[in-house]
Every structure is written in C-alpha cells, then in structure tokens.
C-alpha cells in the first residue's frame, strides 16, 4: 500500500514508520524536517508545514493518491479542514490519532469504553473533540473511510517518565538519588502507561482494514497503577530505594503553581482506566512491554544520550516539600 504519515518523526510515528516499512509498505512522511530523531532512510519525505494550509493542500495534490493517510499531528480545527479539503475522495482510508482525553472527566463509569460522552478539560482535548466530530461528519458525507485511534499516556526511549510537574527528567533523577518526590492527592488515582512500540502496532494493523472503518479504538496501558504504585515501580526498575513520596492535595498544587501543575488538575487527579477490548479484537493489540521494562529502556537511552537532568540544580521541589511539611498543612486549614 501507498501510505502517507502526516508527522512521521514523533514518538509514536517513528515506530509506525518502521513497522510499515518492515512489512513492505510504500511510506511517505510529511513533516517540517526539524526532528532530532533519525529518519528511516527507506521512507520518502515531503517537507512542509501542515499549518500553511494552502501550501499543504497544494503539496498533497502534487503527491498524488494514497491508499492510507495517518494523521499523527492534527491539533487544531483548521488542521481538520485542511485534510478534509486535501483528501476528500482521494484516499482509501484516513486514520486519525486522537486521545483518550476527549472524554468527560471524571467518568460516569470505569473503565472508559469508546462510547463514553465527550468532554475535554483543556484546549488540547477540546480541539481533539472538535476534530473527531469534523472528521466523522466528513466521513458521513462520503469523504473517506475513517478510523480514530485514541492512545493514553504513551512513552518511549526519547524522553523520561511523565510526572505531576510535567515531563522533566529531574523527577526520575530524584528517585534514583533517593530524594522525596511530590505526588498529587493521596496517590490513589489510577494511571496507565503504554510503550510506543505497542501503540504503533495498532495503527499499523488498522491501515487499510475495512473492519476498522467508522470505528474508534483505545490503545492504552493495561497495568492499572495508582500514582503511588507507578512511582514505586520506577524506583524498582532503576534499583533505587523505596521512593519517599510526599502527598500534596491537588487544589493546593494548583493554587501554588497553576501552570506547573496544570496537568494534575486537568488529568492526573482523575482515574485513567480504559477498555482495550475493541483494539484487541480488531487490531490484535497486545500490551507486551511492562512498565518497569519500559522505564529501564528510557533510563538506558537518557544515560546513553546524556539527557538525564540533574535534580540538584533544580531546588524548586525541595522548597515546596519543605514548605508543605513545615507550614503548608496548617495553611491548608486557613
């Protein structure tokens, strides 16, 4: 098949590209050419900015027809309009990478199934909802067969584990050095993590498959870990001591630094548990890389590429923990 990946150099896209090429597909990547990750030399590349919509649409017309288009970097409603204009009647299958964050939080029930009501607690997730609706409407008008794939937290060797303050690797460094780390609330909300290689195989399996047309799928981690257990397994994976977890309520973190801890209020404080049955059935999705093994791979990559940040140079968390333990609990009651 002739397959176009819009993006192609991101965390999940790298694995999708490799898997498609390994099975003999004709793969073209469309991106800005600014990624620091190496490109697979077997793939064709078109450089451009998909947010320059007239130029993008002209490039897509010039590129010809594709059997499958996989959009990994659709974030804005205008991105949806651009691909609808570019590919209506010109592609055999359109696959859109969305997110599990399109749902209402908290859920009416757990685990989430693909039919749960839309929600969205930040601009990113609300825009993904708009995009899903736009693409579904286009599909209903005969533009192209559509499949929507919704990953949750996906990780890989090019970065460290996500944590309440974002994605800096100082959290990992603190655990490795036996320093205390902050976890929101009482640490009991559930979280899932899935390695990019497992997620990518679902996209590859969906490509060109009529049984996936008109459907949406979760491709998420299947170790249902509380945030405390998630943190403990990081320590176990790197041979660190039992982590010293300091619990600070979500509303306190949001008042102290709403920008740094925005993701806690918008996402992490809620249970993130998802039913992968549809992907297991239609896409043969399998969760094959346990979280601790994934952490070991991340750490090996970070150390080999000298990307592990030194937490000794960032005293913010130490100051916040000291404040909470000495004054913060009392201040919470005022």
Q: What DSSP assignment string belongs to 138-190?
A: HHHTTS--EEEEEE-SEE-TTS---BTTBS-THHHHHHHTT-EEEEETTS-SE
Residue 113 is predicted with a pLDDT of 97
Residue 333 is predicted with a pLDDT of 41
The mean per-residue pLDDT over the stretch 6-25 comes to 95
**What is the C-alpha separation between 121 and 241, in angstroms, rounded?**
36
Q: State the residue for tokens 């000291």.
A: 322
**Domain for residue 261, yes or no?**
no
Q: State the residue for tokens 């601790």.
A: 292
Write the CATH number for 126: 3.40.50.720
**Domain for residue 44, yes or no?**
yes
CA 156 to chain centre: 10
For all residues of the chain together, what is the average pLDDT? 95
Which residues, in sequence order, are CB contacts of 252 under 8 Å at separation 6+?
324, 328, 332
Which bin fits 178, alpha (ψ -120 to 50), beta or left (φ > 0)? Answer: left
Question: Could you give the maximum distance between any two Cα atoms of the chain, in Å?
Answer: 66
Cis-peptide into 211, omega within 30 deg? no
The mean per-residue pLDDT over the stretch 302-328 comes to 93
Residue 306 has pLDDT above 90, yes or no: yes
Residue 167 is predicted with a pLDDT of 86
Residue 334 is predicted with a pLDDT of 40
Which residues, in sequence order, are CB contacts of 60 under 8 Å at separation 6+?
86, 87, 90
Domains contained in the chain, number: 1
Share of the chain above pLDDT 90, in %: 92
**Domain for residue 291, yes or no?**
no
Extract the tokens encoding 125.
């997730």
**Domain for residue 117, yes or no?**
yes
pLDDT tens per residue, range 117-152: 999 899 999 999 999 999 999 999 999 999 999 999
DSSP string for 206-261: HTT-GGGTTEEEEE-----EEHHHHHHHHHHHHTPPPPEEEEE-HHHHHHH-TTTT
Residue 9 is predicted with a pLDDT of 87
Look up the pTM and report it.
0.95
Residue 36 is predicted with a pLDDT of 63
Confidence of residue 324 (pLDDT cuts 50, 70, 90): very high
Residue 221 is predicted with a pLDDT of 98
Residue 222 is predicted with a pLDDT of 98
**Domain for residue 7, yes or no?**
yes
Which residues form the domain of 100? Answer: 2-154+193-219
The mean per-residue pLDDT over the stretch 257-284 comes to 96
**Domain for residue 166, yes or no?**
no
pLDDT tens per residue, range 80-118: 999 999 999 999 999 999 999 999 999 999 999 999 999
pLDDT tens per residue, range 181-205: 999 999 999 999 999 999 999 999 9
**What is the C-alpha separation between 28 and 288, in angstroms, rounded?**
28
The mean per-residue pLDDT over the stretch 306-316 comes to 95
**Domain for residue 282, yes or no?**
no
CA 60 to chain centre: 26
The mean per-residue pLDDT over the stretch 151-171 comes to 94
Residue 179 is predicted with a pLDDT of 97
pLDDT-wise least confident of 37-41, 215-219, 247-251, 298-302: 37-41
**Domain for residue 242, yes or no?**
no
Contact yes or no for 150/277 (Cβ under 8 A): no
Q: Number of H helices and number of E strands within the chain?
A: 13, 13
Residue 75 has pLDDT above 90, yes or no: yes
Confidence of residue 17 (pLDDT cuts 50, 70, 90): very high
Burial class (CB in 10 A: 0-12, 13-18, 19+), 94: buried
Residue 37 is predicted with a pLDDT of 66
């Amino acid at each position: 098949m002739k397959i176009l990946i819009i993006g192609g150099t991101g965390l999940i896209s790298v694995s999708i590209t490799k898997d498609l090429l390994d099975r003999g597909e004709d793969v073209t990547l469309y991106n800005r050419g600014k990624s620091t990750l190496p490109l697979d030399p077997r793939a064709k590349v078109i450089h451009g900015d998909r947010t320059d919509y007239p130029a993008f649409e002209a490039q897509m017309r010039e590129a010809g027809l594709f059997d499958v288009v996989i959009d990994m970097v659709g974030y804005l409603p205008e991105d949806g309009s651009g691909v609808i204009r570019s590919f209506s009647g010109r592609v055999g299958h359109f696959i859109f990478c969305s997110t599990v964050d399109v749902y209402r939080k908290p859920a009416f029930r757990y685990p989430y199934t693909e039919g749960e009501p839309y929600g969205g607690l930040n601009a990113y997730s609300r825009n993904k909802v708009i995009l899903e609706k736009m693409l579904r409407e286009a599909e209903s008008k005969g533009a192209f067969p559509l499949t929507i794939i919704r990953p949750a937290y996906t990780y890989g060797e090019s970065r460290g584990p996500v944590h309440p303050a974002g994605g800096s690797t100082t959290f990992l460094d603190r655990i490795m050095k036996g320093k205390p780390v902050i976890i929101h609330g009482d640490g009991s909300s559930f979280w899932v993590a899935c390695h990019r290689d497992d997620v990518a195989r679902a996209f590859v399996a969906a490509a060109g498959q009529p049984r996936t047309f008109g459907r949406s799928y979760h491709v998420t981690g299947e170790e249902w870990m509380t945030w405390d257990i998630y943190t403990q397994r990081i320590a176990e994976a790197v041979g660190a001591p039992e982590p010293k977890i300091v619990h600070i309520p979500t509303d306190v973190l949001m008042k102290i630094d709403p920008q740094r801890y925005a993701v806690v209020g918008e996402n992490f404080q809620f249970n993130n548990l998802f039913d992968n049955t549809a992907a297991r059935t239609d896409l043969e999705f399998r969760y094959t890389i346990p979280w601790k093994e994934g952490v070991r791979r991340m750490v090996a990559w970070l150390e080999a590429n000298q990307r592990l940040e030194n937490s000794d140079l960032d005293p913010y968390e130490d100051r916040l923990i000291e404040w909470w333990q000495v004054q913060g609990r009392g201040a919470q009651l005022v």
